[in-house]
Amino acid sequence: MIQLRFIKSLYIRLYKMVVRTLYRLFSFANKQDPYKVIIAINRSKVLEGNLLFIYEELKKQLPQSKIHFVFSENKMNFKLLKEIMNLSNASYLVLDDYYLPVY
């Protein structure tokens, strides 16, 4: 039981280190896009409530913005690494709820 906790803890630390390193590398390599907006949704696959209002206001106030939606699973997997690459050059990030890459 103790070995399992140790292995899990080691895995989480290693994963966080890899994610942080990749974010820094992607941020350094990719120029920040002043019009890129990412809306990370965790609860559902539908844009509703406050996020819908924020989306509509972004379209109104920043019509030139490029809005990307990320439907997160909040799992430590390879899809998360793709999301890190997406986040690395965004100017704006709107979070729905707990979002693992930012945590």
Per-residue pLDDT tens digits for 45-60: 778 888 889 999 999 9
For residue 72, give both structure tokens.
């997160």
What is the identity of the amino acid at 103?
Y
Q: Buried (b) or exposed (e) across 50-59, using 16+ Cβ within 10 A?
A: ebeebbeebe
What single-letter amino acid sits at 21?
T
- Please give the share of the chain, as a percent, with pLDDT higher than 70: 86
- This prediction has a pTM of 0.71
